[in-house]
Structure 1
Amino acid sequence: SNLLKESHDLEDALLLRLAIAEKKLNTTQHKWQNAMKQRVELREIRHDSFHASDLANYYIHVQPNKSKALYWANINWQQAKMNIDQALIVQAKRM
């Protein structure tokens, strides 16, 4: 519970998973989705390619946007080139 008190201290990957879970619960509360939205906006301003996978997953699972999901999935693929990264591109294309 202490881990979840301060969203600004959470790693992007964990914050993303909390936002996805919150969205799947379909609650009126959007604490984690809003926190992840702010994080995504910051990463986009910085064009932070280190978190490209998280950004692609955000645009696939939390705030659907095919063009942004595909853009970040391709950025991620340029760096990682693992099977999971290729699968992320496929997911984005299937949106």
Structure 2
Amino acid sequence: MTLSLTATGTVSAEDAAGAATTGLSETIANIEQALIDVNHSDFASARLHIKTARMGAEALTGDHAKINDAVSNIVQGQIQANRGNSKESADYLAKALSTFKAL
């Protein structure tokens, strides 16, 4: 007995745009939560949200220059959070948030 399954699928432009919007929205939400955590000096939680935001941001497509700039700010925010520098981390995360909201 042989079982064969063949799956064919197409992704419409609307589906792709919806996925990109969802990824961007989730990235923004994680940066916003990381900012709240950093401002409350909850660095363990902030690091988790920063890591998730960074992974989401690196998967985004679109204006590569702006995305790369925002990812760079997330990385710097992550470095500062790891060092316990809440002010500097918040500054970098705010820059990244501003860039992503402009996309």
RCO comparison, higher one (Cα < 8 Å, 6+):
2
In the superposition, the TM-score normalised over structure 2's length comes to 0.36
Provide the TM-score with structure 1 as the length reference.
0.38
Looking at CA atoms only, which structure, 1 or 2, has the larger radius of gyration? 2
